[in-house]
Structures are given as C-alpha cells and as structure tokens.
Amino acid sequence: DTEVTQTPKHLVMGMTNKKSLKCEQHMGHRAMYWYKQKAKKPPELMFVYSYEKLSINESVPSRFSPECPNSSLLNLHLHALQPEDSALYLCASSQVSEPSNQPQHFGDGTRLSIL
C-alpha cells in the first residue's frame, strides 16, 4: 500500500465529458506532482504544486487543469480530452520541491481511457 492515494483507479470517459482525478497524501509533504505515463514509457511531468505555487510543463494542453485545494489534496480536472490522452496518470508528493533533491513518493495511478 502506498501513502499517496489516487481515485478512481480506472476511468473511462468520452471526449465531451468532464471528469476529475483526485489525489491525497497524509505525509505532511508540501509539494505535489502530476505525471502522465503511456504504456511502456517512463512517467512525464505535467504539473508541480509547491507551497501552493503552480509550475506547468508548457507542453501540457489546456484541457488538463490542476487544482490544489490544500497541501494534502491535488485534483486534475479533465475536459474535452482526446484518445491520445489515454494513459496512467500518477500523483506524487515530496517534502519540498526546492531544492529538488527530495525523493518523490507515488500513488498507484488512475488508468484513464478516452473513447
């Protein structure tokens, strides 16, 4: 069992749907992350929240929208996704993101399929 909890574990949605992925950690970490992982590929960073400040990977399309209600929770809002967005979405947390030498702890991800 991991200390980073992601829900739902699986999600199937159409291209016109709006849905949200949720992530929660109770380790007192102050930085949280979203990664995208395609099959047989490594995780790729999408967003970083550190001390409530957002950093964005500029290659991530605007149909993905992160939200950090508090330091323990991280959401990823999805809207008008494309079939190529089907992937495993991983949430991670670490004690701090600057300096970026702290290990990140990952949840088991949400498997997203876009019809």
Partner 1 sequence: EDQVTQSPEALRLQEGESSSLNCSYTVSGLRGLFWYRQDPGKGPEFLFTLYSAGEEKEKERLKATLTKKESFLHITAPKPEDSATYLCAFSGGGADGLTFGKGTHLIIQP
Q: Which of 43, 64, 74, 112 binds partner 1 (CB under 8 A)?
A: 43
DSSP result, 55-73: EE-TTS-TTEEEEEEETTE
Question: Minimum distance between the CB of residue 108 and partner 1, rounded to whole angstroms?
Answer: 5
Tokens standing for residue 22 = 């949720």
- Near partner 1 by CB under 8 A: residue from 66, 90, 93, 112: 90
Beta strands in 8-115 (DSSP E): 10-13, 18-25, 31-37, 44-50, 53-56, 64-70, 73-79, 87-94, 105-106, 110-114
Question: Is residue 64 involved in binding partner 1 (CB under 8 A)?
Answer: no
The yes or no reply on residue 68 touching partner 1 (CB under 8 A) is no
Is residue 93 part of the contact set for partner 1 (CB under 8 A)?
no
Binding window for partner 1 (CB under 8 A); candidates: 11-19, 66-74, 78-86, 97-105? 97-105
Q: Which residues, other chains included, contact 7 with Cβ-Cβ below 8 Å and sequence gap of 6+? A: 21, 22, 110
Residue range at the interface with partner 1 (CB under 8 A); choices 13-21, 59-67, 70-78, 99-107: 99-107
